[in-house]
Structure 1
Amino acid sequence: MPICQNCGNKWTWKQTIKTIFKLRCPHCGQKQYESTSSRIRSGIFGLLPVMLLPVNAWLDFSVGMVLTMAVMLVLIILGFYPFILKLSNGEEPYW
């Protein structure tokens, strides 16, 4: 779970999901930023739905089946996102 770099409080899963787009600490109210390592890891998770395209071509799934799998995969990724999120006080460069 993410820990606020300003006040040091650990966010719960629910608090993290609620602040996923603004990343403002629910305890102290300070703006937090996603760390570089966390952005890289979340980028790798973002590639998983794209990997459904070759699987669809190989196994010849129907469009409905692929959409169902994509929605389930996105929900799983969002569910695990709070566990991979690391915070920083300022924006960090990618490298």
Structure 2
Amino acid sequence: MLPTCQHCHTPWTYTDTLKNMLQLRCPYCQQKNYLSKKVRMRDALFSLLPIPIMILFNVSFPWILGLGANIILVLALIYPYIIQLSKHEDPLW
């Protein structure tokens, strides 16, 4: 499911979401949206994933960089479907 602006409640298209992935500004009402606390926590934990893989499987750093690049590419393509927006930026803790 694609995100919906939390101010004007207009659903964003896939292209709108990709264009606004960094700013999260609604293309319809121009209001700033924020990632929900749940999504930010998930993203933070997911970014630490290569570290245990490197330690547990004794994988070289260049291999992890390649894996990380592929993960980033896949996430960029599916990210519009997995983000949730919030009106306010909630603290992580």
TM bin, normalised by shorter chain, reads 0.7 to 0.9
Q: What's the CA shift for 1:69?
A: 2.0
CA distance in 2, matches of 1:21, 1:79: 14
Using the size of structure 1 for normalisation, the TM-score is 0.77
CA distance in 2, matches of 1:49, 1:12: 31
Question: For residues 57-94 of structure 1, what are the alpha-carbon distances to aligned partners after superposition, in whole Å with 9 as ceiling and x for unaligned?
Answer: 2xx5583x443222111111222222221111111122
Q: What's the CA shift for 1:51?
A: 4.1
Question: For residues 33-68 of structure 1, what are the alpha-carbon distances to aligned partners after superposition, in whole Å with 9 as ceiling and x for unaligned?
Answer: 1111111122232223434423662xx5583x4432
The gaps in structure 1 that reach 5 residues or longer are none
Query: 1:63-78 maps to which residues of 2 (within 5 A)?
Result: 63=62, 65-78=63-76
- The number of equivalent residue pairs is 92
Quote the sequence identity (%). Answer: 36
The gaps in structure 2 that reach 5 residues or longer are none
Q: What's the CA shift for 1:14?
A: 2.0
Using the size of structure 2 for normalisation, the TM-score is 0.78
CA distance in 2, matches of 1:38, 1:62: 27
